[in-house]
Amino acid sequence: MAPQEKSETAPKSPRNKVIITCAVTGAIHTPTLSPALPFTPADIAAQAIAAAEAGAAILHLHARDPRDGSPTGDPNIFAEFLPQIHAATDAVINLTTGGSPEMTVEQRLAASLRFRPEMCSLNMGSMNFSFHLMGSKIKEWRFPWEKKYIEDSASFIFRNTFTDVTRVYQLMSDFGTRYEHECYDIGHLYNLAYFLDRKLARPPLFIQSVFGILGGIGADPDNVVFMRRTADRLFGEDYVWSALAAGRHQMPIITQAAMLGGNVRVGLEDSLFIGRGRLAASNAEQVSKIRRMLEELGFEIATPAEARSLLALKGKENVAI
Ligand code: KMH
Ligand code: ZN
């Protein structure tokens, strides 16, 4: 073999292991939009465990009211599914602090303060965050709250001021919790750089770039490259990158991110679909799909232990679940 013909066939990447995060239910979609969207504690636990078995190293979790699927920040509801997930899998438990449009910042933080997870989400700026077009084809709603909730998102401001974000760092860092820094636009990377300068954020930063939310950066391949390059310039070796994209953009955009050396997030929080016009049957189905695609491309999937090491997490035994 000539020296220039190296036997390496895998795509070029800073490291060849990809962390799959699965965001199991979120607070955007509503039960009428998909029968697969989990909302009872039993279903959230079962789908989260199946997603971990399929290859998700990190589980991003929200809670919902078991009676009607409406989002809730109530730690007592989280307590109905977190212990099962914690006992059944090694996956990293990552709790939302984004909550839902109807929650105060305090309500959004309550579960993380109680359970002291290895990770929690941290949204890096205030923004419009709208999904008001989502229910336009629905004629009959399963629960009365859903239609208004979706329509009202047109006037929702997702609040994450510098004061709010500082507070999350101050409270959660005491517990050794680290962050999924959700960046919905290029400016959010600069906000994160501000927190890094002030030593509130500490490397290795986990940056979750979010594409395709109405109010944030669009799900265009140019933007994925722009986000990656900007993060490289601001953070150099100090960050681990991941991407998610909303709805039909999910699989193509995260595959592009993996090709650029990133990690990926799937799950019914971000998209209800598995293919064009086809609803996913479960979170695990999306995990299996991206896993299959990545493995075909020559990547390996990171185990929870590898994710913990890459992200410098405190370990499963150090949470209060
Ligand atoms: N639904 C995602 C686009 C959070 O939980 O902190 C945003 C999210 C927010 O995951
Ligand atoms: Zn979330």
Q: What is the pLDDT of residues 170-184, one digit of tens each?
A: 999 999 999 999 999
- In ligand 1, which atom is closest to the CA atom of 98? 6
Is the CB–ligand 1 distance for residue 97 below 6 Å? Answer: yes
Q: Which atom of ligand 1 is nearest to the CA of 27?
A: 1
For the CA of 123, the nearest atom of ligand 1: 6
Q: Which ligand is nearest to the CA of 129?
A: 1
CA distance to 49, 98, 122, per residue, from 164 (Å): 32, 11, 10
CA of residue 1 to ligand 1 center, whole Å: 49
φ and ψ at residue 4, rounded to 5 degrees: -75, -15
Q: How far is the CA of 86 from the centre of ligand 2 (A)?
A: 18
> Which pLDDT does position 2 carry in this prediction?
45
Percentage of residues of the chain with pLDDT beyond 90: 94
Rounded to the nearest whole angstrom, what is the distance from the C-alpha of residue 4 to the centroid of ligand 2?
45
Tell me: the pLDDT tens digits for 76-102?
Answer: 999 999 999 999 999 999 999 999 988
Q: Which of 209, 215, 250, 242 is nearest to 227 (CA)?
A: 209
**pLDDT given at position 11:** 45
Distance 8 CA to ligand 1 centre (A): 37
Instruction: Please say if the pLDDT value at position 6 is more than 80.
Output: no
- DSSP per position, 36-100: T---SHHHHHHHHHHHHHHT-SEEEE-EE-TTT--EE--HHHHTTTHHHHHHH--PEEEE-SS--
The average pLDDT across 27-49 equals 98
User: What local confidence, expressed as pLDDT, does residue 16 receive?
Assistant: 80
Ligand nearest to the CA of 101: 1
More confident: 60 or 7: 60
**Closest CA relative to residue 244, chosen from 214, 260, 264:** 264
Q: Which residue's alpha carbon is at the smallest distance from atom 6 of ligand 1?
A: 98
pTM: 0.95
Structure token digits, residue 78: 């989280």
Distance of CA 107 from the midpoint of ligand 2 (Å): 14
Cβ of 213 below 6 Å from ligand 1 = yes
Q: Say whether 127 sits in a helix, a strand or coil.
A: strand
Q: State the closest ligand 1 atom to the C-alpha of 213, by its place in the atom list counted from 1.
A: 3
Q: Are strands 278-279 and 63-64 parallel, antiparallel or unpaired?
A: unpaired
Count CA atoms within 13 Å of residue 71 on its CB side: 25
| CB 285 near ligand 1, within 6 Å | no
pLDDT of residue 1: 42
pLDDT range class, residue 8, cuts 50, 70, 90: very low
